[in-house]
Amino acid sequence: MPLNTFVNEQPPSYATTRIVREDPADYDKKSGSRKPGNLLKRISLERLMDLKVDYAFKQLFGNEKNKDITVVFLNAILQRTGRNQIKDMSFLNTEAGGEYTEDKQSRMDLLVTTNSDEQINVEIQFTNQYDMIKRSIYYWAGVYRSPFKKKMSYKELRPVIAINILNFNLFKQTDDFHTTYHLYEDEEKFKLTDVMEFHFIEMSKLIKDWKDDKLDPWNDVLARWLMLLGMVDHWNDKVYDEIYQELEEIAMKDESLRNAFQTWEELSMTQDQYLAYEARLKRIRDEEAAQREAELRIQEAKEEAKEEAEEEVKKAKQEGRKAAEKAKQEGIQKGEESAKESIARKLLAEGMEIEAVAETTGLPKDKVIELQREMR
């Protein structure tokens, strides 16, 4: 793609305050390599970690050493809603919980506070195992209220921005891969507050837009960073070499993107890092398989219950038909008996002998004698 108006965002230098496994020194020398001059010099694309797996994402974007990369990435997302550019930020504790000991405890993927005193929570979800909308609101609420201490004013509560990067489709109402949400007045649509902001990024829709040639990573900073996340897809056993080739060319002009590639390569070549990544990926796959197994078992149970119910209805209908037929036969028999008795009475009244009446009507002799007694 030709280079038109190139967008490049470079943050200043930062001091380190937090360390997350920052020493990728154990390189696997047996990894595949690319031709000299390529951005990835010591590893094949297939060997790269999938950055949509939370472990890999946190090692790249949640690392103090890579803070300049994270700043550019977050600014690319926030430019859609007109937030101030992040100049600096610090990483925060990602443990989140309620006010009491027994409250639900959660671990967020990435939590930072910016130089504008805004907090940003980034969640990346590889599979659709949770109610993502409610989960995001729950995390937002915890981050929003967590700084509130005794004797503080509500005015001191700062904005919280929730960013959710999803490896699946969530909203059927739109084909847009990046949607944003605020609180607005129902009729006149003015914003209630700027302290609440939600971003949802659906990676499968992004890849579809890329395939449909709707993305311009040369001039759209967000597109280029999200294409970086979507380039390796270990869930579907896919690697998009075309995306790599385009981003490789862009990285020659974009220092932050080039640094991200180099750090990504180092992480993927570090043995203990990659083993930890594979363990996390296996756990995600196992959880997904267990969920699928549970869904299948529930479906089988529903099918069995449905079959049993249908069998019971069929049995009841059959029994009902038998009962109806029996009642019909009994009714016919009673009618015949009643008719015979009526005829027998008339014959007895005319003076016919008991034996002759019994033979004529087919009634037992004892029954004819009983009828004669009743007539007398």
pLDDT digits 0-9 by tens, 99-114: 434 444 445 688 998 9
pLDDT in tens, 2-19: 444 454 554 433 333 333
User: Is 359 within 8 Å of 332 (Cβ atoms)?
Assistant: no
Mean pLDDT lowest among 120-124, 301-305, 350-354: 301-305
Query: Quick check: pTM over 0.85?
Result: no
CA 17 to mean position of chain CA atoms: 34
Please, what is the Cα angle at 34 between 40 and 11, to 5 degrees?
A: 10
Taking only Cα atoms into account, the Rg of the chain, rounded to an integer number of angstroms, comes to 39
Share of the chain above pLDDT 90, in %: 44
pLDDT digits (tens, 9 = 90+) for 226-239: 999 999 998 888 99
Confidence at residue 101, expressed as pLDDT on a 0 to 100 scale: 41
254 or 108: whose pLDDT is higher? 254
Q: Average pLDDT for residues 307-328, to the nearest whole number? A: 79
The span from the CA of 148 to the CA of 293, in Å, is 43
Q: Would you tell me how many other CB atoms lie within 10 Å of the CB of residue 278?
A: 14
Whose CA is closest to 139, among 183, 96, 92, 103? 96
Res 312: pLDDT: 78
Residues 351-369: what's their mean pLDDT? 82
What is the model's pLDDT at position 24? 41
Structure-block tokens of residue 238: 């896919």
Average pLDDT, the chain: 82
Q: Which two tokens stand for residue 73?
A: 């990435």
Per-residue pLDDT at 19: 32
The 3-state DSSP class for residue 27 equals strand
Report the Cα 251 to chain-centroid distance in Å: 33
Specify the residue for token string 């060997």: 47
pLDDT reported for residue 21: 39
**pLDDT at residue number 205:** 96
Model confidence band, residue 34 (pLDDT cutoffs 50, 70, 90):
very low
Q: Is the pLDDT of residue 68 over 90?
A: yes
Q: Name the more confident of 6 and 206.
A: 206
pLDDT score for 51: 94
Query: What confidence score (pLDDT) does residue 35 get?
Result: 46
Q: What pLDDT was estimated at residue 27?
A: 38
Band of residue 94 on the pLDDT scale cut at 50, 70, 90: low
Per-residue model confidence as pLDDT tens digits over 326-358 = 887 877 877 878 888 888 888 888 888 888 878
Q: Count Cβ atoms below 10 Å from residue 179 Cβ, excluding itself.
A: 17
Using 50, 70 and 90 to split pLDDT, how confident is the model at 121? very high
CB atoms inside a 10 Å sphere around CB 110: 21
Which segments of the chain does DSSP mark as H helices, in order? Answer: 54-61, 67-78, 132-145, 203-211, 221-230, 241-251, 255-269, 271-349, 354-361, 365-375
Residue with more model confidence, 51 or 300: 51
The per-residue pLDDT for 14 is 36
150-159, 231-240, 263-272: range with lowest mean pLDDT = 150-159
Half-sphere exposure of 43 (CA within 13 A, CB side): 21
Of 207-211, 256-260, 278-282, the range with the lowest mean pLDDT is 278-282
